[in-house]
Amino acid sequence: MTPESALKFKDTPRYMKLVATCFSLGIALVLFIWSIFNYQPAPTIYGPRAIYSIIVLSLTLSLLGRYLLLRVIKRESGITHVLYQRLPPSWHALFLIDITAPIYLAAGVLVGVPAAVLTALITQVVLQIFTFKHHFVSLVEASYRIASTAVVVLIADAVFLLIAGTQQQQAANGYNPLSESRELLGCVVAAIVMMLLLTLASLPTLISSGAPAIGQFSLPDTFRTAVITSWSAYLRSPVLRFQAMVLSVGPLLPVVDIYDNVVAEVAWLFFLVPLFAIYYLALVSTRLSIRTHALQETLADLNSARRRQEELRGYAMLITRVQEEERRRLARELHDDTAQALIALALGLDGMGRTISKLDLPEKDREWFASLQNLASLTLDGVRRACRDLRPSVLDDLGLRAALEWLSDSSSSRGVPCTFTCRGNPAPTTSEEEIAIFRIAQEALSNIWRHSGATQASLEVEYLPGRLQLSIHDN
């Protein structure tokens, strides 16, 4: 796919969404008309008004569950007003749990397939309008959920009808153990079929919410990657297991038809409680999963930062080691070459001075020669001082405390007397740590000598449990 065609493909979803929305609403409208014209009350004592009770219970349960979901999402996201941005996939999957699926199944078992389809359509229309009003679902997704749920209910309850027969047939044949067994088998098979169909119906929503950006790859690669990624993630997610737990209640709901009018009305409430409890458990589980994932990401960031810190510390130690090696090399070269040459020059000038003293030279020439001797001596002292500053031998020979004390004593020669204090029991330190501490003290005293204008300084070292404290002050 060329970039031009990829860009053109990215512009087509507006037309595709319109087509998908109209197609979904058309299917929903056809199923609604079919269910109205084919609805027949069940031949039971509460059959004529069973459809109304089921619809009210379905609406109540679905709206209560959706309200709880939106409330939890807003609380977890920290936003108190209406959310307009797209939900993250972790929360989006919770909208795929259909808490009222067992009620649709029970409507088909107790009343009939048209009643079940009608219940699903009315419930989903109200539920999706409520969700769309709060901007948690798009129009195309809402219309798709309405139509797909109605189709799933139609197929699942038709499977039950195929196995167990209609309520009229069961009433004509009389209720016997065989018919009750067929009814129970039909409920179980219909629940399994509904579970499979709900899983398949969730695939387009999963792809639209978790697919990579279309247009970056070719169309077959994009679709294949989106399907595999979204499908595998959904099959591993706890959402699928909670949907199965919700549908597991479905085969138990038809038992209310063995009770009389009053008891049957109350019996529904005992089945709605575990449905809502399972849905609430799904919300809590997802919230804990998201928090655990966030904690894992935070721990991964901390571990990564710790690794970077260790790498930086190792790099700093390496730089320090290389610098000290270079300082040692320069100090050795200055001592072995430059200092020795200056010593030889000073000895030569001393010998010449003794010879010149026996000659009758003008006073001006004698002063000039004496200045040369003094310059050679000062240069030799400067080179020796540079050797000590580059790499003091006392640090290698006697350790950190002796090196810091020597540094404090040498401050007097720079015009700023410095007192040295050491407290605590010296703890073992690595050579890199000793070098770093010595260089810090050396640089601090150097700043005092050059810039502070102080007349007195102090260097204090205190060995504390697990650490060393270095303090440098001036007046």
213-271 pLDDT, tens digit per residue, is: 333 334 445 556 656 666 666 676 677 777 777 777 766 665 555 544 545 555 555 66
The torsion defined by the Cα of 279, 284, 290 and 291, in degrees rounded to 10, comes to: 180
159 C-beta neighbours (distance < 10 Å), count: 19
Exposure on the CB side of residue 471, measured as CA atoms within 13 A: 11
Evaluate the CA torsion angle 296, 76, 282, 140 in order and state its sign. negative
* Res 73: pLDDT: 77
Average pLDDT over residues 448-462: 83
Lowest mean pLDDT among 48-62, 114-128, 147-161: 48-62
How many residues would you count in the chain? Answer: 475
Element (H, E) at 474: strand 467-474
CB 124 within 8 A of CB 149: yes
* Res 133: pLDDT: 85
pLDDT per position as a tens digit, 345-372: 777 777 777 777 777 777 777 777 778 7
DSSP lists the bridge partners of residue 472 as: 459
231 C-beta neighbours (distance < 10 Å), count: 17
Kindly tell me the burial class for residue 432, based on how many C-beta atoms sit within 10 Å of its own C-beta (0-12, 13-18, 19 or more). Answer: middle
| Helix intervals (H) in 165-260 | 167-173, 177-201, 203-210, 219-236, 238-248
Element (H, E) at 468: strand 467-474
CATH class as words, domain 392-475: alpha beta
CB 260 within 8 A of CB 45: yes
* Res 16: pLDDT: 78
pLDDT per position as a tens digit, 84-143: 345 556 666 777 778 888 888 888 877 888 988 999 999 999 998 988 888 777 888 889
